[in-house]
Structure 1
Amino acid sequence: MAAGFLTHLAGDRVEVRSAGSLPADEVNPAAIEAMREVGVDIATATPKVLTAEAVQASDCVITMGCGDACPVFPGRTYLDWQLDDPAGKGVEAVRPIRDDIRRRVEALIAEIAPR
Structure 2
Amino acid sequence: MGAEYGQEGLVSTSCDIYSFGIMMMEVFTSKKPTDEMFTSDLSLSHWVSKALVNGVTQAMDSRLIRKDEENFFAEVNCVSSIFELALNCTAESPENRINIKDALAFLQKIRLEFLVKLSEN
TM-score, length of structure 2 as denominator length: 0.32
The structure that is strand-richer by fraction is: 1
Rg bigger for which structure?
2
The structure that is helix-richer by fraction is: 2
